[in-house]
Amino acid sequence: MRIDLHAHSTASDGTLSPASLMAAAADAGLDVVALTDHDTTAGWAPAAAARPPELRLVRGAELSCRWETISLHLLAYLFDPDHPGLVAELARVRAAREVRAERMVALLRADGYDVSWDEVRGYAAGGTVGRPHIAQALIRAGLVPSTSAAFAPEWLGSRYRVPKAEIDVFTAVRLIADAGGVTVFAHPRATRRGRIVPDSLIVSLAEAGLSGLEADHTDHSPAERAHVRDLADSLGLVVTGSSDFHGTHKVVRLGAETTAPAAYERLVAKSSGVTPVLG
């Protein structure tokens, strides 16, 4: 069984629609795929409607979180999307994302760059607006050759980056648990992405209800993967592996990293969400 528990669609910053993502997952030989768009469940319904019968869909989201001054991501699975507290918090974060992206476009325009808010919103196609959509405008204008180049410090990585609204990580773990779901810390040791949290925080999150750690991820070195696995084993946490697929925004293919069936079953067993797995 091939299981990929981290993939994005156009509901956030992927380049495949939820329906196309389901077809691509089947074509990639996956048996299970999780739809984990940033701070939204908007892709769930179209993905479910388009899911091939041989593919199992795990409905989830990647939550934008913060601990002190460090940003981090939690993968949330198997939760009730109608939980009032969670709905309110995700709506707050999505609204702030829109304001943030518009401010970044305004900064670029103030320096004379040929990008517009209407263009960026068009790339988002009704989904949550993010930096990859601004990157598309920079590529179209011939200012950068790729999304990764757009994320360099002189562009969206620092100079034109605006801080985003995030959820306190302990609040996020509690809200997902209250909604019947489980949480996995996404790429927790990826130093190439920037600052990482100390292991002591992960210990505290495990005590608060965190269920797992994403070890096998393309942004983890072999040493970082080993460290995450050892930490997860010491805390009794589930170890997952995932592609973090974004379509053409990244070069990683679906199923490039996978989760062991036993780990997947442990996550499902820990949840009490409302029919969260289809297929």
What pLDDT, in 10s, does the model give residues 18-68? Answer: 999 999 999 999 999 999 999 999 999 999 999 999 999 999 999 999 999
Residue span(s) of the chain under CATH 1.10.150.650 come to 95-157
pTM: 0.90
3: which residues sit within 8 A by CB, 6+ positions away?
30, 31, 32, 33, 258, 259, 260, 261, 264
Q: Whole-angstrom Cα distance, residue 11 to residue 5?
A: 16
Q: What is the pLDDT of residue 73?
A: 97
Query: Which of the four pLDDT bands, split at 50, 70 and 90, describes residue 249?
Result: confident
Domain 95-157, architecture per CATH: Orthogonal Bundle (1.10)
Q: Does domain 3-90+165-278 have CATH number 3.20.20.140?
A: yes
Q: Which two tokens stand for residue 61?
A: 């989201």
Residue span(s) of the chain under CATH 3.20.20.140 come to 3-90+165-278
Query: Which of the four pLDDT bands, split at 50, 70 and 90, describes residue 4?
Result: very high
Q: Whole-angstrom Cα distance, residue 20 to residue 18?
A: 6
CB 144 within 8 A of CB 138: yes
Q: What is the pLDDT of residues 170-205, one digit of tens each?
A: 999 999 999 999 999 999 999 988 899 999 999 999
Q: What is the pLDDT of residues 65-89, one digit of tens each?
A: 999 999 999 999 999 999 999 999 9
